[in-house]
Amino acid sequence: MKTTIKKMNKHAINIALAIVLVGSATSQMAYAEGFTEALTSGKGSVNLNLRYESVDQDNALEDASALTLRTLLAYDTGSYKGFSAKVEMEDTRIVLGQGDYTVGPTGYNLGLYSVIADPEHTELDQGYIQYKNAGLSAKLGRQVITMDGHRFVGHVGWRQDRQTFDALSAKYSAVKDLTLQYAYITQRNRIFAQDADLDSKDHLINASYKTSVGTLTGYGYLLEVDNNTDNALDTFGISFAGSTKAGDTKVLYRAEYASQTSESAVADFDVYYLNFEAGVVFSGMTAKVGYEVLGSDNGAFGFSTPLATLHKFNGWSDQFLGTPSQGLVDTSFMLAGKVLGGGWTAVYHKFDADEASESVDDLGSELNLSYVKKYAKYYTAGIKYAAYSAGDIKVDTDKVWIWVGAKF
């Protein structure tokens, strides 16, 4: 009897082990199949941008022109247990030998022509692992990061080599209308190709809350280039932006304030930022007036936004990629609408110094015009013009862009 029971127990144990082994094997196979399916069921994409740019400046430099083709090849995997990945390669080439321009940080034609910041290059544009669930998304690796309309953190997507970051980033929706964002950046992959990238120790903190009349946002951007020197640049700010309806007219509004401190081996300074916008949308047109101040510390240092999509602000001719030491006051008027199936935009800027002196007060003015049209589902074409009239500093500058893009 005891022998029979021992045999039964032995058989039961063997069966249990077999079940465990089969279950484990099945789980491993399911895991492998799910992981493989996620890798192979992704989506590839191609993004092409062919652009001609010309620059005419009233100085000793030769007029510049460039015809460049930017190619983005990307692959997004499927998702497995909330995890996915993305790989994207970027390449820019001069087309038909049209490369009479200077790219400063790379040394390309240095000092010969005006600057067109589109160097020839091939690099990893994005490459990251992502995790998503109902309220949380996180990325680790090279990625695009934008916050608050690109004024302080952007991808500079207008240039052929757009800006990305090597970072850990996370976005969390704690409740329905509250969004928290954080990113730690270890490298800024700038628009001048790999040789101009900067190691950094940047912390980006952003929180926004949506209400029925607009979005309230608070942020802290703590930036530091990792080059063994003291160069901390800390910015803290708050903004409120929204819209409301008044009959058939939509009313737009925005107000923002920020303070900035710098502690470096060169100098310490405290400056402020101020932005007011008001506009209306009516009969298919948008009209907007803006007043933006990038303050100055006694005419010695100006408010700085090194991670911003700078081309989007203070005029398309890019005269103020670096804020003058006198600071910058930008009063702007914008009109936009649609015609012939495309969108047109006209903007006028009047620039003044925040801290004026006897020699520097008027910083010039600029007119911007553009027309962009999408064709079918995949194609875009556009033309853009910027005319800067110099004041007490800089020189008159005209720039023209013509481009055709395709996304598949």
Q: Which tens digit of pLDDT belongs to each residue from 208-267?
A: 999 999 999 999 999 999 998 889 999 999 999 999 998 899 999 999 999 999 988 777
Range of 104-113, 258-267, 333-342 with top mean pLDDT: 333-342
Judge residue 128's burial from the number of C-beta atoms within 10 Å of its C-beta, 0-12 exposed, 13-18 middle, 19 or more buried.
buried
pLDDT per residue as tens digits for the range 378-388? 999 999 999 99
Q: In this structure, how many other beta carbons lie within 10 angstroms of the beta carbon of residue 353? A: 22
Which pair of tokens denotes residue 288? 């907007």
Task: Give the pLDDT score at 14.
Answer: 52
The structure tokens 């033309």 sit at 383
Is the per-residue pLDDT at 7 higher than 90? no
Across 164-173, average pLDDT: 97
Confidence of residue 142 (pLDDT cuts 50, 70, 90): very high
**CB burial class (10 A; 0-12, 13-18, 19+) of residue 260?**
buried
State the residue for tokens 């008159």.
Answer: 396
Extract the tokens encoding 380: 């875009």
pLDDT attached to residue 35: 67
**Token duo for residue 55:** 């620059």
Are the C-beta atoms of residues 370 and 387 closer than 8 Å to each other? Answer: no
- Indicate if the pLDDT at residue 277 is higher than 60: yes
Task: Please report where in the chains the tokens 């497995």 appear, as a residue.
Answer: 80
| The pLDDT value given to residue 111 | 86
Average pLDDT score over residue span 358-373 = 96
| Predicted pLDDT at 16 | 44
